[in-house]
Structures are given as C-alpha cells and as structure tokens.
Amino acid sequence: MELTHFNEQGRARMVDVSAKDQTQRMARATGKVCMTSQTLGLIRTGGIKKGDVLAVAQVAGIMAAKRTWELVPMCHPIQLTGVDIRFAWEDDGIAVESTCRCKGETGVEMEALTACSVACLTIYDMAKAVQRDMVIQRVCLAEKDGGKSGHFVRDEER
C-alpha cells in the first residue's frame, strides 16, 4: 500500500482531494475512561465540584471534532454535517462513542477519533481531583462508511 502523505522527495504533504467525488461519509470511534466505583458514583450523582462531567465532555468532544484540522497537521478542514457523543455507564468506567458525518471528498475518521479522545480527556480532567489514576483506554475507529474504500467495521463490533 502506498503512503499518500509523502511527496516524491519523501517529505510530508497534504493530499490533494480535489479530484475525488463528494459522498456521504460517516465514522464512529469508541473509547473508555476506567475509574473506581466511588468516582463513577460522584459523576453519576453530580458530586464532582467542576460541574456536570458528561455535559462538559459532550460539548468538548463536539468542539474537538470541528477543530481536528487545526490539531492534526495533514487533515483537511471538513464541513461536518453532524457530530454526536454518547456515553454508557459500565461497572468499571464510562464508555464513550463519537459519530461524525459529512458530505465531502475525504473521510471523517480523524474527527471521530479526536472527538472521542477529547471527550475522554475531559472526563479525566473533570474528575481528576477525586481520582488521579483513571485510565483512558482503547480509543479506536469502530466503523467508517463512504468514499472509495467503502464500509469498515472493526471485528469485535460485528
């Protein structure tokens, strides 16, 4: 497989996507913040002094998706048509899922991964006063659709 982010001199470049067709594109990323049951309880009951942890993490994830091109050097600015951040309570932490959509020439995988990562980081930041040893784990692309490469679903998601 050819790496497309290098020019003929072996230097980094932003790929020219102007010849690609605009298609509906979607990417979904998942991750998790592992913590103690005490920390989970405080988040669930609103006992974290900084405020509503999941509300802040949701907004942070959406904002991060919109600014991915400013953080990851070879990403194109993408006009997102939708971003959603979802949370699930688990016995050992909070699962995070981000979904990004656009109609464009390039995919939204990096936006979904950035949104999920920043939502996880925000949960950590909001709760670190009560638990510093939380662990952010397994941020990964779970699914993507659209474009020439078609539909991808991570094996354990099937």
Whether 126 has a binding-site annotation, put simply, is no
First to last CA, the chain: 25
Give the span between the Cα atoms of 145 and 52, in whole angstroms: 33
Choice among 125, 133, 145, 155 that is catalytic = 125
Active site residue 91: no
Greatest CA separation for the chain: 56
Whether 74 has a binding-site annotation, put simply, is yes
Whether 134 has a binding-site annotation, put simply, is no
Whether 100 has a binding-site annotation, put simply, is no
Whether 63 has a binding-site annotation, put simply, is no
Give the span between the Cα atoms of 40 and 123, in whole angstroms: 11
List residues forming the annotated binding site for substrate.
74-76, 110-111
Residues designated as active site: 125
List residues forming the annotated binding site.
74-76, 110-111
